[in-house]
Homo-oligomer: A and B are copies of this chain.
Amino acid sequence: MTPKKNDVERRGRGRPQSFDRTQALYAAMRLFWDRGYEGTSFDDLIAAMGISPSSFYNAFKSKEALYQEAIEAYAKASGAWFYDILGEPADTRTTLERLLTFAAAEFTRDDLPAGCMIAVAATQCSPSQARLRELMATQRTQYETAMANRLRLGVNLGDLPAATDIDALAAFYMSLIRGMVVQARDGATRERLLEIARIGMQAWPAKEGHPSAA
């Protein structure tokens, strides 16, 4: 959508950049992921990115602009599995099961920070960061809406009872995933997260005509 200054080809006039912009962005992303926006200082960033303040300012405009880019990079790289799985042709229950299982695995990779960059970000922050907070809430809403849309499709496909409260079910599973993120950040193992996911699938709505006994 937004054509960045240097995507593959960039033969401008002036002095060429001495660093790989994408690589620097990923370094920033990992730092933000691990420490959050307010917990990551300017000096930490330029150190991890290996650039000077002027290069930083020149290439990324500001810390906030960089954070937004980092969120986009995260969505494309480390968050894509979510939308990918939602788009798979499996039946709805299998899709949700895969989603939770994949979440457990992704949140406990040893080559990336634990958990998710978005799931619990900026839930408690200074009033001066109100814009950031709204941005993250919006991001979370988008993931939840995507899941709700997939569940709604499930109703249309007959995978879910027609009376299912789709928005509530999506909110339930997103809540569970966000809680799994907290567990992951506190050091929970992949096995533990898989157990949580397995129990979460027990809440899957019963088929029509088979109401669960009280």
Contact = CB atoms under 8 A, between A and B. Distances in A.
Interface of A: 33-36, 38-41, 115, 119-121, 123-127, 129, 137, 140-141, 165, 167-169, 171-172, 174-183, 185-188, 192, 195-196, 198-205, 212
A129 B39 contact: yes
- The oligomer's copy count stands at 2
B182 A196 contact: no
B182 A140 contact: yes
B179 A200 contact: no
B186 A175 contact: no
27 contacts: A34-B124, A38-B39, A38-B126, A40-B126, A120-B123, A120-B124, A120-B182, A123-B182, A123-B186, A124-B185, A140-B182, A140-B186, A168-B192, A168-B196, A168-B199, A171-B188, A172-B195, A172-B199, A175-B178, A175-B182, A178-B182, A179-B179, A200-B203, A201-B203, A202-B202, A202-B212, A203-B203
Contacts of A188: 171
A119 to B, nearest CB: 7
Contacts of A199: 168-169, 172, 203
A49 to B, nearest CB: 17
Contacts of A121: 124
Nearest to A125: B39
Contact of A39 (B115, B126, B167): B126
A195 B140 contact: no
Nearest to A172: B199
Nearest to A205: B202
Contacts of A41: 126
Given A39-B129, A174-B179, A123 B200 contact: no
